[in-house]
Amino acid sequence: MNRGKILLIDDNEEDLIFTKELLEKVGYTVIQNVGWLGTTKNIKYLNPDIVLLDVNMPALPGDKLYDLVLNLVKEKKIPVLFYSAMDESYLKKLKIMKGITDYIVKGDIFQLYRKLSLYMNRKLN
């Protein structure tokens, strides 16, 4: 059963592999994007249902990358969720400042499954 397609953007390959395995176990298709390079192309041509975007990336932080792809994700109506181990209060502020769909704290598997399910259902229905 395919529950939808997620574009996972993270500079940490261990986090990419771990998160991809978690999501594929419950039926999601996961496209991995190591760092920010290729993000626009993957959004444009692979048409993910959701973008899961790490915030803390050294070359181009996720919040800055979001600014670059904002028009594209809005045009395609793709929800973007920040995915980070940063402090939750900071992520809440960032959500409000950037106007993203939501955030997920890395390591909280329950929150990961719950929020992805919520936004995927909204996207696909």
pLDDT tens digits for 20-74? 999 999 999 999 998 888 899 999 999 999 999 999 988 888 889 999 999 999 9
**Whole-prediction pTM value?**
0.92
**88 within some domain:** yes
**86 within some domain:** yes
**39 within some domain:** yes
87 dihedral zone (left: phi>0; alpha: psi -120 to 50; beta): beta
Query: pLDDT tens, 79-100?
Result: 999 999 999 999 999 999 988 9
Number of domains in the chain: 1
**40 within some domain:** yes
Instruction: Count the neighbouring beta carbons within 10 Å of the beta carbon of residue 69.
Output: 21
**118 within some domain:** yes
For residue 64, CA distances in Å to 4, 26, 67, 91 come to 26, 30, 5, 14
Residue type, 32: Q
**82 within some domain:** yes
Question: What is the CATH number for 51?
Answer: 3.40.50.2300
**61 within some domain:** no
**72 within some domain:** no
Domain with 24, as residue range(s), is 4-55+77-124
